[in-house]
Structure 1
Amino acid sequence: MKYINLVLLFLAIISCQKEVEPDTKMETIKYIERASGEIQSENVPGEGMLKWLYTSATGKAALNLLVKRKIVSSMGGWYMDSRLSAKRIPEFVNEHRINLNECEFSDIKHYKTFNEFFYRKLKPEVRPVEEGVVSPADGKILAFQSMNDIPSFFIKGSEFNLQTFLGDESLAKKYETGAMAIVRLAPADYHRYHFPASGKASESVKINGHYYSVSPLALRRSLKTFCENKREYCTLSTDSYGEILIVDVGATMVGSIIQTYQAHTSVNKGDEKGYFAFGGSTLVLLFEKGTITFAADLIENTKKGLETTVKVGENIAS
């Protein structure tokens, strides 16, 4: 019976039909479209379900007792890897206005499961690699030139502990006075991620954790989510920008973080590093103090409390 209940809960989550309690309130998430400079409102997939999970007493109970656990995300991964899930692709493409002409295979019939489409490859020419340090993913970015600037963005009481996040005291010490970028991938985004600079990449270190959502609706409530979710990190040793720490953070319904690069080898800026299976996900970049300067527009937008859209290969720092 418990497995039937788990299946029912999972189906409720992916259908996102849960009604929000009447007194539940959550702020509208706004961001800057970098190309135009216009402020946009984000359409958050599953917004009703997320509001229920993160703001109501009953939702929080379900979140902590069940939703954050591996079995729920594993069930989600099983479904998204099954041929049954392929029927969701056309609706997903239409709802999120995904440009199929950018995809390596533009015919959705090529993809036999939803996950095959979710971590689809793009044509190399649609993501040109620019000068300087570039975005490792398509998504929305926050850029903090100093770790001291982080508390100003998130709500009071939402603490970010670098040592807890990395699980390594000496590593935390290395980056505690440096800069940080958070690149958040929404479900509709391209979900392969790439190296932000050229250098030598170490092996990935895995940190076990839960599977909380990394939706902005959840993160605004608690940045500590990053310190509790499943994550992996590697060090990219560069000639021009010091040692960049790249942290891949999983989330609810992300059954897998897949690394496709070869550890202890030299990589070029823009080379693929890996991909996320279904769900929203996040990449965190940590830089040693004084090694980079973020683009002015990204810093200014972050100070205003706004994320900025970025694409793979697009300049974010020099």
Structure 2
Amino acid sequence: MSSAVVIQRLAPMRLLTRCAGVLASCRWPWIAQPLIRAFVYRHRIDLDEALHSNPGAYRSFNEFFVRALRPGVRPLAMAEWTSPADGRVSQLGGIRAGQMIQAKQRSYSVEQLLGDTALARQLEGGTFSTVYLSPRDYHRVHMPCEGRLLGMRHVPGTLLSVRPDIVEGVDGLLARNERVVCWFENPRIGVFAVVLVGAAIVGSIATAWHGVVAPPRRSKIRQWLYGEDDSVHRARNLLQGEEMGRFRLGSTVVVLMPGSAWDFAPQWEIGEHVLMGQAAATRP
């Protein structure tokens, strides 16, 4: 076990996350601006892509971290499946016998990741890919294809780092961390899921239709269903490339696609950096 993994296991990650959240949400300029400018320098962030390129335009670190991009800097590729985020492809493969490969051929349960037996069965035999968002990446998550929102589930869990080296050292980490599971239906493709996995120092996870879903100190699974009936929340259709969620600090997105007949784009390989909207996969 590496020293980084040992530190993750021993450190009070939830307390550290709460403390970081207080600092990140502070709007006092004498706190927010030094944090923002130090972060930009440390991670060599290209603010020319941002809608507001001046660090002084952001009232808090959180506001800076989920900054919008200028229109046109992430063109949407002509592909059935596109990248949901900027980041590095950390894993991809098939969903077999209810399991997905995490790293170094270690597997973890799809049912545990989703918190839903029925949804896991629907996606059996499908394909998944995982994108790790480093602190320097753009941190809004977009739809990989068009879909009608069916449901959302907040699953509480640990808050371990999702850095690739940590993920490799902890069995089933992505299915243990706090996460927000969203599932959709596309009339041509079928039901698919997008899982936003929280991590150490991630203050919250939010979706475009709900706002903050995973604030601190939630211990019970919560679920929202969406449909045309008045007995459930109102359904909505999201277009490919439309914003669906956002993280505060680095994290991971897992996309579960129905069916195995997908050809991944040449740049969609483990270890490669991808941009939101780039082609990810098409049917042969």
Aligned match of 1:105 = 52
Separation in structure 2 between the aligned mates of residue 237 and residue 294 of structure 1, nearest angstrom: 21
TM-score normalised by structure 1 residue count: 0.74
Q: For 1:124, what is the secondary structure of its paired residue?
A: coil
Separation in structure 2 between the aligned mates of residue 179 and residue 61 of structure 1, nearest angstrom: 31
Task: Indicate how the Cα distance of structure 1 residues 145 and 216 shifts in structure 2: closer, same or farther if over 3 A, else same.
Answer: closer
Separation in structure 2 between the aligned mates of residue 178 and residue 192 of structure 1, nearest angstrom: 25
**Higher share in helix:** 1
Matched, 1:312 2:276: yes
Are the equivalent residues in 1 in contact too, given 2:33–2:55 (CA < 8 A)?
no
Written as runs of structure 1 = structure 2, the 5 A alignment for 1:231-250 is 231-250=179-198
Are the equivalent residues in 2 in contact too, given 1:183–1:283 (CA < 8 A)?
yes
**Shift of the alpha carbon at 1:294?**
2.0
Separation in structure 2 between the aligned mates of residue 253 and residue 245 of structure 1, nearest angstrom: 24
Tell me the alpha carbon deviations over residues 116-157 of structure 1, each in whole angstroms, 9 at most, x when there is no partner: 111111012100011121101000114534135954x7236x
**Higher share in strand:** 2
Pairing partner for 1:154 from 81, 95, 103: 103
Are the equivalent residues in 2 in contact too, given 1:145–1:293 (CA < 8 A)?
no
Any stretches of 5+ residues in structure 2 without a counterpart? Answer: 211-225, 227-234
Aligned match of 1:28 = none
CA RMSD after TM alignment: 2.1
Q: For 2:263, what is the secondary structure of its paired residue?
A: coil
Any stretches of 5+ residues in structure 1 without a counterpart? Answer: 1-23, 25-50
Pairing partner for 1:185 from 130, 133, 146: 133
Task: Indicate how the Cα distance of structure 1 residues 195 and 61 shifts in structure 2: closer, same or farther if over 3 A, else same.
Answer: closer
Q: Read off the aligned partner of 1:128 and give its amino acid letter.
A: P
TM-score normalised by structure 2 residue count: 0.82
Task: Indicate how the Cα distance of structure 1 residues 61 and 141 shifts in structure 2: closer, same or farther if over 3 A, else same.
Answer: closer
Task: Indicate how the Cα distance of structure 1 residues 293 and 244 shifts in structure 2: closer, same or farther if over 3 A, else same.
Answer: farther
Aligned match of 2:218 = none
**Shift of the alpha carbon at 1:317?**
0.6
Pairing partner for 2:167 from 219, 227, 233: 219
Separation in structure 1 between the aligned mates of residue 160 and residue 25 of structure 2, nearest angstrom: 21
Written as runs of structure 1 = structure 2, the 5 A alignment for 1:1-318 is 52-54=3-5, 56=6, 59=7, 62-63=10-11, 66-67=12-13, 69=14, 71-82=15-26, 83=28, 84-132=31-79, 133-142=81-90, 144-148=92-96, 151=101, 154-155=103-104, 158-261=106-209, 264-277=235-248, 279-290=249-260, 292-298=262-268, 301-302=269-270, 307-318=271-282
Are the equivalent residues in 1 in contact too, given 2:51–2:67 (CA < 8 A)?
yes
Q: Read off the aligned partner of 1:94 and give its amino acid letter.
A: Y
Separation in structure 1 between the aligned mates of residue 8 and residue 49 of structure 2, nearest angstrom: 39
Percentage identity across aligned positions? 30
**Shift of the alpha carbon at 1:259?**
0.8
